[in-house]
Amino acid sequence: MKKALFVFAMALLLVGCNRKKEVKLIPAENFNTEVEGKKVSLYTLHNGFLTMQVTNYGGRVVALWMPDNRGSFEDIVLGYDHIDKYLNNSGERYLGAVVGRCANRISHGSFKLDSIEYQLPMNDGENTLHGGLIGADKRVWDVTSVNDSVIEMHTVFADGEDGFPGNLDVTMSYKLTHDNQFEIRYAATTDAPTLCNFSHHSFFNLKGEGNGTILDRSPA
């Protein structure tokens, strides 16, 4: 009898281990709000293989689901499941966001362009990090188009905003391609010489969010 119970328990354990994990979408209503009079929403993209959820608040990638070699899905980017956790965040400010108008650090928050020296607000000790106090990550981007696998967003950085010269008109798109790439494109125009260097700031865990450290991850 004990042997039969042991075999039954092992069978249940094996069934549990082989059970495929399916995509679990974050409810869109978790992100429905307004920031400074502009509507914030959550958008879901998919290409039949990958599924990504994006909010126009900071152009953040909130979730990116992909299957492993057994067809079990995991969310491989770190993100929050509610807009409030981004708006009232005491942790990593740039989680999943687009950063700019100048990604990375500007030493002492100053630079010279065409013999004119510009002083920026310093938000990282003696440096200006990822665009300054407002940056690309704390604004609501306008969604200009969206379909199953592509979302395009737009914003304008005003002349003098965060200390940078020139009005900077920026369009950004996220695309899940037919060959399962996550593609990001930026395009910008300006009416004066300025700095422009955008980047993306997702944190990835190929084991899946919440599945422990990546330090013991071995190649598949």
Please report, for the domain that includes residue 151, its CATH number: 2.70.98.10
Strand, coil or helix: 13: helix
More reliable by pLDDT, 60 or 11: 60
**CA count, 13 A, side-chain hemisphere, 78:** 17
Task: Give backbone dihedrals phi and psi of 4, rounded to 5 degrees, phi first.
Answer: -65, -40
Residue whose entry in the numeric block shows the structure tokens 């592509």: 150
pLDDT reported for residue 30: 98
Question: For strand 51-55 and strand 42-46, is the pairing parallel, antiparallel, or unpaired?
Answer: antiparallel
Q: What's the one-letter identity of residue 94?
A: Y
Q: Is the predicted pLDDT of residue 1 greater than 90, yes or no?
A: no
Strand, coil or helix: 78: coil
Residue 148 located in a structural domain: yes
Residue 171 located in a structural domain: yes
Residue 97 located in a structural domain: yes
More reliable by pLDDT, 14 or 138: 138
Residue 17 located in a structural domain: no
Number of domains in the chain: 1
Residue 87 located in a structural domain: yes
CB 197 within 8 A of CB 103: yes
Residue 15 located in a structural domain: no
Residue 18 located in a structural domain: no
Predicted structure pTM score: 0.86
Determine the structural domain holding residue 95 and report its residue range.
29-201
pLDDT reported for residue 6: 42
Residue 21 located in a structural domain: no
Residue whose entry in the numeric block shows the structure tokens 């958008």: 43
pLDDT band at 21 (very low <50, low <70, confident <90, very high): confident
